[in-house]
Structure 1
Amino acid sequence: MSAPTPAPLLLRGARLTTGETADVLVAEGRIAALGAEAAAQAAGLDPAPEEVDCAGLVLLPGLVDLHTHLRQPGKEDAETVETGTRAAAMGGFTSVHAMANSTPTADTAGVVEQVWRLGRDAGWCDVHPVGAVTVGLAGEALADLGAMADSQARVRMFSDDGMCVHDAVLMRRALEYVKSFGGFVAQHAQEPKLTAGAQMNESELSGVLGLAGWPAVAEEAIIARDVLLAQHVDSQLHVCHVSTAGSVRLIRWAKEQGVRVTAEVTPHHLLLTEELVRSYDPVFKVNPPLRRESDVMALREALADGTIDTVGTDHAPHTAETKQCEWTVAAMGMTGLETALSVVQHAMVDTGLMDWAGVARVMSVTPASIAGLEDQGQADERGVPRVGAVANLVLVDPEARRTVDPEQHLTKSRNSPYRGMELPGAVRHTVYRGARVVADGAPAQPYRHPAVAEAGGRA
């Protein structure tokens, strides 16, 4: 059987990133019309489109996350592709990139194809597996990058995230290899010998708290090396979760030299500081660690001026057993898919550093461009989705206020650092390939990929 085409939608009175209001017609999975033409074309449709009142809601192209941990296969007690992508849809994401540190590692064509199929079966958003750079993330031998690139998953992003590709020769070979098929390496910048046993940012506070320090230079040294390697072989490098002011300066310099480097910052590094570690609450333990207030301000400025290209959630779900324990043995990582847009609004929009067009740029258009996603991030330079594009959209209420309660989140894990914090903004609707997968702030029905429907529920 064939998958039914999503019913047409008429989004009434949405607020564009330009500040104007407009109707948007979604039909046959695409944006059919925008503005005055939308209602006129809707009148001729059979069946008539479902009308959705979007007064006061900001319309953005669907969000794209280059840095998500979905845990499956092997760690389904913390997250699955189903639960993680449903949480992503609730956060306004229509595309996520699943990092390779699953069990088994996503270092073969078979594993990345499994993750890709699980994403299609779930139907909440696109799932793009990230292939491991090295076998088992061990940093000793290159994984079969070409086989993953040629697989059904068509992997283009490779990362050992959670581990650094610390061997300079291996990193050079990886950059050379991915260049041959238009891929890129996303580096977790952490010199392991400088961070052995590290527990938090190295500072006066780490000494006061008696926790082993994680120096900024451990991140900055790898970035400095890697931008030079990328320049040497003329390949594309993406720097994951930038966290220090020094890293910003290095990336800015590299871009000035014409190096093909892009970078991301996480929502938590835009908002939270090392001062939270005084509580010894392991929910604030993360890799890289929370840094100083001066680093947070430098990261915000770099995101606003384009030195940092994207926001990546680094959504890292963990079980209660591995997170709610003594700080020194607790797992590193925080959930983030369902709060990312609110944190960016709070840190960037409500502070005047960025407008909604900028949010569309750093959370949709630019990450889609970096990853080469033709069906995502299709908007003009003002952040307005393009007529004719695949209908991947999010509508957010910027006036809403909510107190974060992780118990209400759709991710399986509860390790949100924002528990009890009041944040602005709320996703009201997420449209994925023309289907409203989130409606009125709640999950609706997932999109049915044609191949999934023809296979009776699994592709």
Structure 2
Amino acid sequence: MLTLLQNGMVYQAGHLQQLDVLLKDDKIAAIGVELAALLPSTAEVKKYDLQNLLVTPGLVDVHVHYRQPGYSQKETIKTGSLAAAHGGFTTVGAMPNLDPVPDTPANLKAVIDLNQQDGVVHILQYAAITQRRQGKAVNNLAALKAAGAFAVSDDGSGIQSAEVMYRAMQQAAAVGLPLAEHIEDESLLFNGVINAGPKATELNLPGMSSLSESSQLARDLILAQATGVHYHACHISTKASVALIRWAKQQGIQVTCEASPHHLLLADQDIPADDSNYKMNPPLRSKADRQALLAGLADGTIDMIATDHAPHTEADKAGGFCGSAFGITGSETAFSMLYTQLVKTHQLSLERLLELLTIKPAQAFGLHQAGELLPGRIADIAVFDLQHPTVISAQDYYSKGKNTPFTGEKVYGQTQLTFVAGQAVYQKED
């Protein structure tokens, strides 16, 4: 089966140029100019004219929550992966806050089998660092790696004990597993639901200190230096965290980090009211924190963007800040919101945004088949329309979760087509 993507503006090797991309079965066969002329006249070819459209490697998101098994009322592997495809993502890392927790080889294998059975994109599965994600007893990380874990995390909970984190890092380093940490000292949360500051005071809501993130990150970076582990800091959100990671990289500590679209696009002052669609953990921080994140993107301190796609039911989000769950969705809005708010306003180049969403996460996690368009690679490709505006509508979401403050936003960069292993798994209807 031959598929020819013609006349698109192709992002390849860090540059944008008008090229054709030829797919044969599940692989990229060739990239070049006027490839149709090189094909035999007898060849059966499905052709897509992508004039004025952006063609990129399938986006890579190392931080999603698919809720199955255990919480399928919020999301399933099928709906979550369809949402990823709708957003142009073709490779995702699924977090382990599930029931049962993938903390044994048997539990992990069961989730991996479900991912392969129901997923329409490539789903890489995190295993839990500690038993039942309780932060107390470190799992057998060698056995979990052998069972298929691509990394380990207790995401949703920070590991409170320095001893437990140290022992986990020693194990992860010994077997070559990245350790991705939800950075949070629970003793500094003060039962907060929003960032501590003027907005919390204005809305009369209990505030979470930003020290809960930066103080634990400082601890973890020293432990990472001592153990040599690949330490990945999830969803960093504060100016202090950016400075700490910049320092750690200067020291040669093997650290990578991600920022989430919502922390890059919003500050706590943008919260209009007691609206739980703005409630996430870590919370939206100050304008100065947001500016520090953007500076970290620009200078390379922040390695990648990851959505932290966290779907919830309507009931989960019905209680305002004090009565609802933390988390917002992100797979379906990430690229268009980032392109519209950062690239079109000249705060970030398109090439840098694509680097942060493709090759950088793939390189950081050693994903050798993801993040680049190259002949011989698996044909994972996304196609975006940068020219025509659209309005983000809840009725267009494939995710079960509708919990995002970005519904109703006018955006550019809507996904037109997503290919996974040469198959079109999402195509925008005319």
TM-score of the superposition, structure 1-length normalised?
0.90
Determine the structure 1 residue equivalent to 2:325.
331
Q: Is residue 410 from structure 1 mapped to residue 398 from structure 2 by the alignment? A: yes
Percent identity for Structure 1 against Structure 2: 35
Question: Is the alpha carbon distance of 1:408 and 1:191 closer, same or farther for their aligned partners in structure 2, counting shifts above 3 Å?
Answer: same
Determine the structure 2 residue equivalent to 1:419.
407
Q: Structure 2 residue aligned with 1:227, among 221, 230, 254?
A: 221
Hey, what's the Cα distance between the residues in 2 that align with 1:118 and 1:441? 28
Counterpart contact for 2:64–2:93, Cα < 8 Å: yes
Determine the structure 2 residue equivalent to 1:26.
23
Q: Structure 2 residue aligned with 1:372, among 366, 377, 382?
A: 366
Hey, what's the Cα distance between the residues in 2 that align with 1:45 and 1:169? 66
Q: Is residue 309 from structure 1 mapped to residue 303 from structure 2 by the alignment? A: yes
Deviates more, 1:25-34 or 1:104-113: 104-113
Determine the structure 2 residue equivalent to 1:430.
418
Q: Structure 2 residue aligned with 1:12, among 6, 31, 41?
A: 6
Count of residue correspondences: 427
**Displacement of 1:76 after TM fit?**
0.4
Structure 2: which amino acid aligns with 1:211? L
Question: Is the alpha carbon distance of 1:45 and 1:256 closer, same or farther for their aligned partners in structure 2, counting shifts above 3 Å?
Answer: farther
Question: Is the alpha carbon distance of 1:403 and 1:229 closer, same or farther for their aligned partners in structure 2, counting shifts above 3 Å?
Answer: same
Hey, what's the Cα distance between the residues in 2 that align with 1:360 and 1:107? 33
Q: Is residue 293 from structure 1 mapped to residue 290 from structure 2 by the alignment? A: no
Hey, what's the Cα distance between the residues in 2 that align with 1:217 and 1:293? 16
Question: Is the alpha carbon distance of 1:21 and 1:441 closer, same or farther for their aligned partners in structure 2, counting shifts above 3 Å?
Answer: farther
TM-score of the superposition, structure 2-length normalised?
0.96
**Displacement of 1:208 after TM fit?**
2.6
Determine the structure 1 residue equivalent to 2:155.
161
Determine the structure 2 residue equivalent to 1:456.
none
Residues 40-189 of structure 1: matches in 2 within 5 Å?
A: 40-43=37-40, 46=43, 48-151=44-147, 154-189=148-183
Counterpart contact for 2:265–2:341, Cα < 8 Å: yes
Hey, what's the Cα distance between the residues in 2 that align with 1:254 and 1:45? 58
Q: Structure 1: which 5+ residue stretches go unaligned?
A: 1-6, 380-384, 443-459
Give secondary structure in 2 for the equivalent of 1:34. strand
**Displacement of 1:106 after TM fit?**
1.9
Counterpart contact for 1:10–1:50, Cα < 8 Å: yes
Counterpart contact for 2:67–2:77, Cα < 8 Å: yes
Counterpart contact for 1:430–1:437, Cα < 8 Å: yes
Counterpart contact for 2:308–2:329, Cα < 8 Å: yes
Instruction: Please identify runs of 4+ aligned residues in structure 1 that moved more than 6 A.
Output: none
Hey, what's the Cα distance between the residues in 1 that align with 2:111 and 2:36? 40
Hey, what's the Cα distance between the residues in 2 that align with 1:41 and 1:119? 38
Structure 2: which amino acid aligns with 1:274? D
Determine the structure 1 residue equivalent to 2:251.
257
Structure 1: which amino acid aligns with 2:250? E
**Displacement of 1:28 after TM fit?**
2.3
Give secondary structure in 1 for the equivalent of 2:288. helix
Counterpart contact for 2:190–2:209, Cα < 8 Å: no
Structure 2: which amino acid aligns with 1:309? D
Counterpart contact for 1:426–1:441, Cα < 8 Å: no
Q: Structure 1 residue aligned with 2:208, among 207, 214, 224?
A: 214
* 1:396-427 residue CA offsets vs partner (Å, 9 max, x unmatched): 11123221112320001110111211122111
Hey, what's the Cα distance between the residues in 2 that align with 1:360 and 1:204? 35
Structure 2: which amino acid aligns with 1:163? S
Hey, what's the Cα distance between the residues in 2 that align with 1:255 and 1:302? 12
Determine the structure 2 residue equivalent to 1:397.
385
Q: Is residue 245 from structure 1 mapped to residue 239 from structure 2 by the alignment? A: yes
* 1:148-178 residue CA offsets vs partner (Å, 9 max, x unmatched): 1111xx2131111110012111111111111
Hey, what's the Cα distance between the residues in 1 that align with 2:93 and 2:271? 29
Counterpart contact for 1:25–1:42, Cα < 8 Å: no
Q: Is residue 347 from structure 1 mapped to residue 341 from structure 2 by the alignment? A: yes
**Displacement of 1:44 after TM fit?**
5.6
Hey, what's the Cα distance between the residues in 2 that align with 1:303 and 1:126? 26
Q: Is residue 39 from structure 1 mapped to residue 36 from structure 2 by the alignment? A: yes
Question: Is the alpha carbon distance of 1:132 and 1:75 closer, same or farther for their aligned partners in structure 2, counting shifts above 3 Å?
Answer: same
**Displacement of 1:293 after TM fit?**
1.6
Counterpart contact for 1:82–1:118, Cα < 8 Å: no
Hey, what's the Cα distance between the residues in 2 that align with 1:178 and 1:330? 34
**Displacement of 1:296 after TM fit?**
1.4
CA RMSD of aligned residues (A): 1.5
Counterpart contact for 2:260–2:305, Cα < 8 Å: yes
Hey, what's the Cα distance between the residues in 2 that align with 1:178 and 1:263? 17
Q: Structure 2: which 5+ residue stretches go unaligned?
A: none
**Displacement of 1:370 after TM fit?**
1.8
